[in-house]
Amino acid sequence: MKDTLVVVNPASAGGRTGRRWPAIEACLRAAGLAFDVAMTSAPGDAAELAGRGAREGRRLVVAAGGDGTINEVANGLLAAGAQPASTRLGVMPTGTGGDFRRSLGLPPEPDRAAAVLSAGRCRRIDAGRVTCARPGGGSAVRHFVNIASAGIAGEVVESVRGRRRFVSGELTFLLASVRTLLRWRNRAVRVVIDGAVRELVVQQVVVANGQFFGGGMWVAPRARPDDGLLDVVIAGDLGLRETMRALAQVREGRHLDGGSPKISHALARRVEVSSPEHVRVETDGERPGVLPAVFEVVPDALEVVCP
């Protein structure tokens, strides 16, 4: 058994990860890495394989895929009780969005990403944990390493999953966002940020550990994944024209600098969001459930190999 396990999601990026895997594997071996490979075949496989790797004592488990694959691998490591110093999370970013790797400054090219893994420099980061309702009843608990949200982003994720993927992750998410905006209706919610209650109508509530989501949207430019806090960005009752103006600002990370009075920012350790309406929750592009939800920070949760 090798110290490193690479968990590969061949279906990520519309199947491009599977088609490119021989070349990606060659990059990893050229960088001097010795590893075993485990291929996923269904949702949930990456979490199970990562958890097994941690229990086996692997020093490094690498997620080869998109943000959803990274999310599953992180959840598998955390569910297995992996300590940050024992099993580290590595990333070979090959998916559609690439938002977690942007947040940590990881390169998108396989050869450069392999070099980062080979160098082995690490950063200890926090994780988020969300407890939310399941549509059919009961509750779900899910960790996220990048960003979770309630509102329109969940519908965008749903749209991306049901449509053709483009070469550019940014274009894929942009087109999905425009389609969703045309039919979206803002929702009434109750938001409790570390005990402070707000009742308002929102487009979405973003709870961020990292900075980017939605294929490169710089939604939380002040977020730090190792500060023991979550950044809460609330997009309020924005209309279509206001949203289009805000999107340009979000791409450049300028929306928190007085761009719109309907967009607010706060820091928190615990965020509760509820609504009388049906509102999806998404975590790193995955769909664990719907509101009501509680988002909490888990400090020093993982060690990630990064520049």
Quote the pLDDT of residue 163. 52
> What residue ranges do the domains of the chain occupy?
4-120, 127-300
12 three-state secondary structure? helix
What's the pLDDT score for residue 153? Answer: 83
Contacts 24+ apart (CB under 8 A), 39-45: 39/8, 39/10, 40/7, 40/8, 40/9, 40/10, 40/11, 40/65, 40/69, 43/72, 44/72, 45/72
What is the pLDDT at residue 96?
Answer: 77
- Domain 4-120 CATH superfamily: Probable inorganic polyphosphate/atp-NAD kinase; domain 1 (3.40.50.10330)
> Helix (H, G, I), strand (E, B), or coil: what is residue 161?
helix
Residue 142, helix vs strand vs coil: strand
Q: Are strands 147-151 and 280-283 parallel, antiparallel or unpaired?
A: antiparallel
The predicted-structure confidence for 228-263, as pLDDT tens digits, reads as follows: 999 999 999 999 889 888 888 998 999 998 778 899
Position 165 scores a pLDDT of 52
Q: Is 225 left (phi over 0), alpha (psi -120 to 50) or beta?
A: alpha
Residue 95 confidence (pLDDT) = 83
Contact status, residue 152 vs residue 181, Cβ threshold 8 Å: yes
Q: Please determine, looking at this structure, whether the domain spanning 127-300 carries the CATH number 2.60.200.40.
A: yes
Q: Whole-prediction pTM value?
A: 0.92
β pairing state of 60-65 and 88-93:
parallel
What pLDDT, in 10s, does the model give residues 16-36?
999 999 999 999 999 999 999
In this prediction, residue 258 carries a pLDDT of 77
Contact 273, 205 (CB under 8 A): yes
pLDDT value at residue 267: 98
Flag residues of the chain having pLDDT under 70.
Answer: 84-85, 159, 161-171, 173-174
